[in-house]
Structure formats: structure tokens, C-alpha cells
Structure 1
Amino acid sequence: MAGLALDGSNPDVRLLYEINGLAKAAPAWFDRIMEFVGEYGIMLGMVLVVLWCWWSVRRRGTAEDAVSAVAGIVWAPLAAGIALLVNIPIRGFVERQRPFREHTGLEVLVEGKNDFSFVSDHATMAMALAVGLFVVNRKFGVAAIALALLEGFCRVYMGVHYPTDVIGGLALGTAVALLLSPLAMMLLTPLAGAVSRSDRLGGLVRSRRVPTGAGSTGRPGTIGIPEPCPGAVCGDGEKGLAA
């Protein structure tokens, strides 16, 4: 399917030239920023959003909520990895060349892109991460989806993808993250629960919120059982447990 419609009447090509034309009109320093943002910066931002979401759900949620949420957060990068694997045969089947190989006059900000164009790996990975986070937490998910859309725009701006490459990547990432989510959560939630009971790794999963009525030790994630009154008379008038 290498012979996709690539003539000038194709709206995909027209939109490519319009968006990439912004790069031609922009100053060189701005293009360098867009190059870094589109190639590395947004993906680094996605990692920070994932980590922030992990920290937030452990700080605010209950013990049960934390286990489920952490399982969902673990699924987000796994979904991105699976989506990239699914994209390998898609690229080999479609065999769409990069736009700068088929069209002249494009401002290409990243050299050395010799693999096939459809679908965009960056858009696929970013949207799979974003949708995975949205299932866990809408606030962080919306922020991540905004970053994924910006990633798609940057790939076209940089002249390395057609708009439909990006749309295909966004759709693929969404489909993998949503369709496989029930099975993934079925497997990951018990695993996260087991990790939460571990002395060494439990802190990665356990809620940091101290339940109401917890003892004076203030240990995060512990059940709120009041401590006995050693050697003293308790409030109900009965003798407390001996120390």
C-alpha cells in the first residue's frame, strides 16, 4: 500500500504543507525548540505527569484506591509499549514513506528518519499513556491528552509525518489502552496488592494518607486501630492493657 494518494489535491498533503509552513516562517531558534519538544520534550513531560499522578493518588486515596490506581498507572506505560509493538506490522503492511521523501519544499527539522511513516510512534505512545492515565485520574489524564495532541502537531510541524500518520497513532494508542484495560487491570490489581504488602516495595503502592483514628505512630496506610492505654484507666472506666 505504498501508493497512497500523495498528489497535491490530497487534503492530507495540503494540511501537511500548511502546518509545516509554520516552521519555514518561524525563526531558527523557535524551530530548534520545537525540534526538541517534538522529539524528546513532550515524552519527558509525559513521564513527569505519570510520576505526579502516582504520587497524588497515593497521597489522597484510601489503601484500596491506591492499589487500584497504581495498577492503572502501571498499565499506562505498558499500554504504550504494546501499542508500539502493534504498530510494527502496521508500518510494514502500509509501507508509507516519510513525507519529505515524496514531496519537495518541506522544512525538515529532524534528519535521519528512514523508517516508514504510518503510523506515528510518538503519537501512538503519547496517546496510549494519556488514555491509560485518564482511566485512573481524569485531571492528569486530560493534561496528558493535551500533551499527546501537542506531540501530534509537532510531528507534522517538524515535517516527519503526515497528519493522518498522527491521527492513526492517536487512534491506535487509544484503542490499545482502552480495549486491553479490563484484562490488564484484572492481572495488575492483584499484583499491586501483593506488592503493597511487601516490606521493601510496599511503599510504592501503599496509600500515604493516614486514616482517621490511626494510632500515634502515624504510619501511612495502616488501619486506624486506637492504641491501648497501658497502665491507665481508659475512658470507659476499665483498666487498660498492661504495658
Structure 2
Amino acid sequence: MSPMSSNSATSASTSHTFGTDPARGPRALPADSPSWLRIVIALIAFGILTPMALSGTMMEYAFMNFINQPAQQNELLDYLMNAFSYQKLITGVPLMAGICAIWCMPSIIARRGDILICTLAAFVTSLVSRVMQIFIPANPRPLQDQALGMTPPFNLSPEFHDLTSFPSDHAVVFIGLGYVIWRFCRPLGILAMTFAVLVSFSRAYMGFHFATDIIAGGILSVIVIELALLTPFRRLGAWVADFSRTHPAWFYGVAFMACYAIATLLEEPRELLSGLAGMI
């Protein structure tokens, strides 16, 4: 091979690099990119679901009444559904444990930057959801909808009355985390997605959300996670992944706090800010 050809090959191999590894030099960008087909399908589905969720349909009302039938009929079931709605140790924490598991898998260490940026995207989508809840027309929770006449389960907390129902914050984050795991590790991802959907639908049983709120929340998360795989975001994720190798003490200390915040949906800071706002 001529020197010119060699230089061209070297240029081609490094033209799409990001980050640096002090021990190995520049690292090539792992093969990954947004699935535009998934994004388009998700956008269409979200566009169809949104007016349905805001206006209500007979099919959804029938579904909500169906899943509400056991409420106050089976105290153990009510207790379990309440636990899935509120106890982060058995909902958000297992999903974040799944994220940590794929982070440590040798076969996908090269994709740690993508794992990190997609996980952050799942959490950031909850902020998108909150903005939507503020600006879209008010949509009452199922328990607040007098046309439904739902029976509240035992030990129901009234904390949900302040915001509109659409879309579901829990579904946005938890289904989003399940999707991230599925995207990088199919076997574990199937289990994580199934678990995330079950946890999210406990919110429907409790009367906090309609089924369309949950489905739309999951779809919204898929869109944002896929867009997070655009090259500028991936470069940012790769830089942080490099930082995790060069400064592990700092990275994993901050990562622990970030995992806790995501798993608990920032519950404690939100309560703190809510209390401060009430005193002003």
C-alpha cells in the first residue's frame, strides 16, 4: 500500500472518532444510530393517541372499569398495586439495576457512552412530560372523572390531584429505562420492558392514569431516547464514558447519586421544592 493510501485509510478510520483513551488513543465510534423508522412510527402513534387521551373513548372507559373491578374486593391486590405505584425499591431501583448490569457487560463496554446518554434521555423525557402537563388542556385523573365512577383502592394516597393526567411521568421514565435495556441487551431487555409495563399499569389500576396516558408516555420516551443517539449527543456520552475510565472515583460517586435520583423520580427534591413553594 502506498503512503498516500495508508494516510487515506488512517483518515477514514479516525474521521468518525470521538473521545480519547489515554492508554489506546482515539476510539472509533461504535456502530449505532437513531432508528428513524421507530421514530416515525412512534410520532404517528403519539399523534393518534393524544386526541384520544384528551377526549376519552368508550373503549378506554370500558378498560378502566374492567381493571377497577377488584378494587376494595381484594386487599392483598390493592396492597401490591399500591406498592408498585409508590415503593421505588421494587419499581425504579430494579430498572436502574438493569442499567448498571448492561453497563458492566463486557460485550457492550464500547457502547457505554450510548447507554449513558440514552439513560439520561429517559429521565429528561419526564421533564418534557411535565411541560406538556402544564400547557396541554387539563385532563382529569380517572378517579376524578365522575363519568367513570371508579372505586378507589385501599390505602390510596391523594398526592396526584395537582397535575393533569396526560402523559404519565412514571411510564415515561420506567418504560424508557426498560427500552434502553432492551436496545442494548435483548434478553434482559424483554424482562425489563415487561416489568416496566406492569409497574406503569399499576398506575391505571390505582386510578392515577388512563391506559392512553401510559402508552403515550412510553412512546414519548422511545422518541426522545432514539433522538439521543444523534451524533452530537453520542459524542457527549462518549466523553463522559471516557471520564469514567480516567476519573472513576468522581464518576461513580456522581453516578450513584444520579441513579438514585432517576430510580426515585427525584421524589425528595420535588417534595422539598413543593414545601418551599407552599411557604412563599
Query: After TM superposition, is the score higher than 0.5?
Result: yes
Equivalent pair of 2:68/2:150 in contact (CA under 8 Å):
no
Instruction: Tell me whether 1:29 sits opposite 2:76 in the alignment.
Output: yes
Alpha-carbon contact 1:132-1:178 (below 8 Å) kept: no
- Could you tell me how far apart the structure 2 residues matched to 1:11 and 1:118 are? 17
Structure 2 letter corresponding to 1:36 = A
Which residue number corresponds to residue 151 of structure 2?
Answer: 106
Amino acid at match of 1:50: I
Aligned partner of residue 95 in structure 1, secondary structure: coil
Match of 1:72 among 109, 114, 122: 114
Q: Is 1:84 matched with 2:132?
A: no
Amino acid at match of 1:37: F
2:218 is paired with a residue whose SS is helix
Deviations 1:197-226 (A, max 9, x none): 34746899xxxxxxxxxxxxxxxxxxxxxx
Which whole-Å CA distance do the structure 1 matches of 2:152 and 2:251 have between them? 50
| CA offsets 1:122-150 (integer angstroms, 9 cap, x no match) | 00111221222222222222222112211
* Separation in structure 1 between the aligned mates of residue 247 and residue 143 of structure 2, nearest angstrom: 53
Change (3 A) 1:161 1:203: closer
Matched, 1:164 2:212: yes
Q: For residues 9-42 of structure 1, give each alpha carbon's deviation from its aligned partner in whole angstroms, at most 9, with x where no partner exists.
A: 62111111111213343x2122112211122322
Match of 1:190 in 2: 239
What's the secondary structure of 1:110's corresponding residue?
coil
Query: Which of the two has greater helix per residue?
Result: 2
**Partner residue of 1:5 out of 42, 55, 73:** 55
Q: For the structure 1 residues 66 and 4, does the alpha-carbon distance in structure 2 shift closer, same or farther, using more than 3 Å as the test?
A: closer
- In structure 2, the gaps of 5 or more residues are 1-50, 254-280
1:45 aligns with 94
Distance in structure 1 (CA, Å) of the matches to 2:102 and 2:142: 36
> Which whole-Å deviations, capped at 9, do the CAs of 1:68-119 have from their partners, x for residues lacking one?
2x22332243112210111122112132111111132322433221121000
Unaligned runs of 5+ in 1: 205-243
- For 1:148-177, what per-residue CA distance to the aligned partner results, in whole angstroms no more than 9, with x for missing partners? 211222111111111111111111111111
Moved over 3 A (4+): 3-6, 197-204
1:181 aligns with 2:226: no
Larger Rg: 1
* TM-score normalized with structure 1 length: 0.70
In structure 1, the partner of 2:12 is: none
Q: Give distance in 2, aligned partners of 1:198 and 1:149.
A: 36
1:16 corresponds to 2:64: yes
Aligned-CA RMSD value:
2.5
Q: Secondary structure at the match of 2:124?
A: helix
How many residues of Structure 1 are paired with residues of Structure 2 in the alignment? 193
Scaled by the length of structure 2, the TM-score of the pair is 0.61
Select the structure with the greater relative contact order (CA < 8 A; seq sep ≥ 6). 2
Distance (whole Å) between structure 2 residues aligned to residue 191 and residue 74 of structure 1: 8
> Residue 60 of structure 2 contacts residue 210 of structure 2 at CA under 8 Å; is this kept in 1?
yes
> Are positions 1:95 and 2:138 aligned together?
yes
Q: Distance in 1 between matches of 2:246 and 2:63?
A: 53
* Distance in 1 separating the partners of 2:140 and 2:252: 47
